[in-house]
Amino acid sequence: MKSNGTLNDIDFIGDNHIGTSSDTPMREDAFDLSDKEKINIIIDDMKHIMETLGLDLTDDSLSGTPKRIAKMFVNEIFSGLDPEKKPNASSFENKYKYGEMLVEKNITVYSTCEHHFLPIVGRAHVAYISNGTVVGLSKMNRIVDYYARRPQVQERLTIQIVRELQAALGTEDVACIIDAKHLCVNSRGIKDIESSTVTSEFGGKFKEDKTRRELLDYIKLDTKFS
């Protein structure tokens, strides 16, 4: 999607939450620096931002903030940028011959909007139909978490999760639905605290109406444990 002009293209894309690629935009030299070097650079940059805002970094409450933010960026909320931290989605032979749909629902999603660096919080529902191969249940959660831990657009996140599981399972029969709140919508701009965003990606048999309806019925199940 393009705007009518070129002068305001950057604001147009960000304010309208438009993604430009299904792959996370990365520079070729993204991993030339070590994590420690990245943290030290971000500390200095964060100090500059806070001082520019007029904050007193000699205050005990603020003095450690640049380091805390730098470590959080590199080691936690953006750790999914590092391919070495990608979970090993080991697959196994489906020896028990389970041939129906498997759904892992209500997977917690914590991500960050790449346009404003504000949180995206929600739930993912992931499903697949085995063609002879299965993955451990926890690997589905870990794949969601890995791709969520980077600056994201929700549409891209949904696609990346499906692609990763398709590669691991060797089948197109994978689906993902994400329902999430974006704080860049809820806390700024329009400030609509009630709205959420739903995205989906359906592969293989999940493109068929019957299979898709079955998945939606599973997601609607009210799972409670006493």
Catalytic center residues:
113-116, 154, 182, 184
Name the strand (E) or helix (H) holding 196. none
For 73-107, give the DSSP string. Answer: IIIIITGGG-GGG-----EEE-TT---SEEEEEEE
- Residue 169 and residue 134: Cα distance in Å, rounded? 6
Residue 96: alpha-carbon gap to chain centroid: 32
Place of tokens 């032979």: 93
Buried b or exposed e, range 194-223, using 16+ CB within 10 angstroms: eeeeebbbbbbbbeeeebbebbeeeeeeee
Distances (CA, A) of 141 to 46, 104, 129, 198: 32, 8, 17, 18
Residues 6+ apart with CB under 8 A from 61: none
Residue 92: alpha-carbon gap to chain centroid: 26
Residue type at position 97: K
